[in-house]
Chain A
Amino acid sequence: MSSRKFNALPGFGLTLGFSVLYLSIIVLIPVSALVLKSLQITWPEFWAVIKSKQAISAFKLTFGASLIAGALNCIFGSLLAWVLVRYRFPGKKLIDGLVDFPFALPTAVAGLSLAALFSKDGWLGSFLIPMGVQVTYTRIGIVIALTFVGMPFAVRTLQPVLENLDASLEEVAATMGAGRFRTFCQVVGPSLLPAILTGFALSFARAVGEYGSVVFISSNLPNKTQIAPSLIFAFLETNDYTKATAVAAVLLVISFVILGIINYLENWSSRFNQ
């Protein structure tokens, strides 16, 4: 009882009990099932799956494309956040609203639309394909889809931090004769770094797990354009539960690791901005 302060408000037991029960059924049981199942796989079995050519290629593609998407999101997300916070210009509200769009739009619709956009009759594809840039069914398409779904995370993480940035810091730098570029690199940049990294981690995490938008734009060819979630899907379709579990376990562990990193970054960031 001493773990909880007395609170005159009622309903603690009921609401906490219900929440825990709900989480147990919806989250804990399935996660435990995956953990349990992967513990039943022996190491040689596990390595055989993970080190297979198909799996290696899928992991490489997933992480490579996610890293590139994360980096792109850092660059363009920072640009968008900066412009939205610091400047006034016509259409600003619209752009600000658009940033949330990839978050609200179902991934299947996003994938479908991107695939059509870059197809040879599409609005962008009809320019790019004659120039020799093939987006659909290639890795470029995967990167574009992953960047699209991760964009809101990068912008929305940076925006509030940029907002609360103490303007006097820049003013001090200016009074000491520092130009804008120097001020940005030495004063503004470092205090935004934790938020930019958090945004990167969030969009990376989103990209690693993304499936819906990619299946439309990618040809999903084993060893070429097959991402890790697609590989799990393929294993499940052939009832290869052991293989599917092994790959899923790797993705789950990576999810947890990124979650830990994000928590750490957020703590760092909040300490930084006190």
Chain B
Amino acid sequence: MSIELKNVSKVFGQVAAVRNVSFSVKDGELVALLGPSGGGKTTVLRMIAGLEVPTSGDILIRGQRVNDIRVQNRNIGFVFQNYALFKTMNVFKNIAFGLKVKKWKKPDIEERVQSLLELLDLKGMEKRFPHQLSGGQRQRVAIARALAPKPSVLLLDEPFGAVDAKIRQELREWLVHLHDDFNVTTLFVTHDQEEAMEVSNRIVIFSKGNLEQIGSPREVYEQPSNEFVARFIGVMNVLEAMVEGGIARVNELEFPTPDLKNGEKIKIGFRPYAVQISTDLALYRYRGVLRHTFFLGILLRLELELPSGQILRSRITKEEYAILGLKDGMEISCQIKQFRILSTENATLTAEITPNLPAPLPLGEGI
């Protein structure tokens, strides 16, 4: 275990920023701490670094309890959201700072800094000052500086928050490659679920100071443990329904819920990919109109309107769209392949329900 948190809580004044959080990170993992702002993820990161002290609980790095070890001695690399480069030092001196602190010999410092400059594509920038660098370069200098003293853990706070969208993509790839090269245990904080899904091996999801779920990107997407996670990761259709005779009804939509009592109010959730569409009006159970198509790239999001006015969001690929010959305003038929009963937040979710439906077209699987 590289990092372990045991029942860690943090209270600022009257506000509990982190509540009884426990999780562990294996050696060499790349883990995202994900959640909406104010969720407590940055506080967790700063507690691991030693920049904040937990109110209760233990933090272990490589099996050693570090609660009482000062930030200077934890041997961590920390990349700040706004990089916090030393403004009065050039790139070389920024990267060499940690090595000088550790009393490395001059030729060793030179060699280490040069190899990092090369690795991070910063060659020729040694003499530049932070204000002479682009956002992406500043970010890479910050990462190089954190990596230079060979930390046992690399911690990054919203590493891609301050650069623009185009460079962000590039930097994400950098981070993955760096992690492969150095194989250093890496934790990063983000509020962008897409970023977390793309970059990390595992995701730790926080909300309001609570740890909601921890798992691989696939796990948290496919098996969200509660409504918060289900809604936070990816898009989800959420409908409020009332159970009557083992069936939950929302307008014309019906969901079989044999185990629930009559009159119970529940929330039904399903992913856009679970909404299947056909231009054959007889194929699926519900009729509707394709109101609008959103082009997101290779995937398209469709907004369907049922006769009652109920809106459903669906997602298909460009190819399917072309094969089906869909157009805005077209009449379609649709069905919901899978859904889930969402209870209140924090409660554990039941498994997904696949109702008995007519055989769907073999399109749109696994999206």
**A interface residue numbers (CB < 8 A to B):** 2, 5-6, 8
Contact = CB atoms under 8 A, between A and B. Distances in A.
Nearest to B49: A8
Contacts of B13: 2
A8 B53 CA distance: 9
A105 to B, nearest CB: 33
Contacts of A8: 50-52, 70-71
Contacts of B12: 5
Contacts of B71: 8
Nearest to B50: A8
Nearest to B46: A8
A170 to B, nearest CB: 34
Interface in B80-107: none
Interface string B19-56: 00000000000000000000000000000001111000
B16 to A, nearest CB: 14
A11 to B, nearest CB: 13
A8 B46 CA distance: 10
Contacts of A5: 12
A2 B15 CA distance: 13
Contacts of A6: 52-53
Nearest to B51: A8
- The 3 A-B residue pairs whose C-beta atoms are closest, nearest first, are A8-B51, A6-B53, A8-B71
Interface of B: 12-13, 50-53, 70-71
A22 B306 CA distance: 77
Given A8-B51, A8-B70, A8-B71, 6 more contacts: A2-B13, A5-B12, A6-B52, A6-B53, A8-B50, A8-B52
Contacts of B52: 6, 8
A189 B105 CA distance: 65
B233 to A, nearest CB: 32
A6 B70 CA distance: 12
A90 B52 CA distance: 55
Nearest to B70: A8
A2 B12 CA distance: 9
A2 B70 CA distance: 20
A6 B13 CA distance: 11
9 contacts: A2-B13, A5-B12, A6-B52, A6-B53, A8-B50, A8-B51, A8-B52, A8-B70, A8-B71
A8 B51 CA distance: 5
Contacts of B53: 6
Nearest to B54: A6
Contacts of A2: 13
B87 to A, nearest CB: 17
A8 B50 CA distance: 7
A5 B17 CA distance: 13
B79 to A, nearest CB: 16
Nearest to B47: A6
A2 B55 CA distance: 11
A165 to B, nearest CB: 30
A6 B53 CA distance: 7
A239 B170 CA distance: 79
A2 B13 CA distance: 7
A6 B50 CA distance: 10
Nearest to B53: A6
Nearest to A2: B13
Nearest to B71: A8
Nearest to A10: B70
A123 B273 CA distance: 90
Contacts of B50: 8
A104 to B, nearest CB: 28
A2 B50 CA distance: 18
A164 B338 CA distance: 57
A8 B12 CA distance: 15
A12 to B, nearest CB: 14
B186 to A, nearest CB: 21
B10 to A, nearest CB: 10
A56 to B, nearest CB: 53
A131 to B, nearest CB: 58
A172 B70 CA distance: 57
Nearest to B55: A6
B36 to A, nearest CB: 23
B15 to A, nearest CB: 12
Contacts of B51: 8
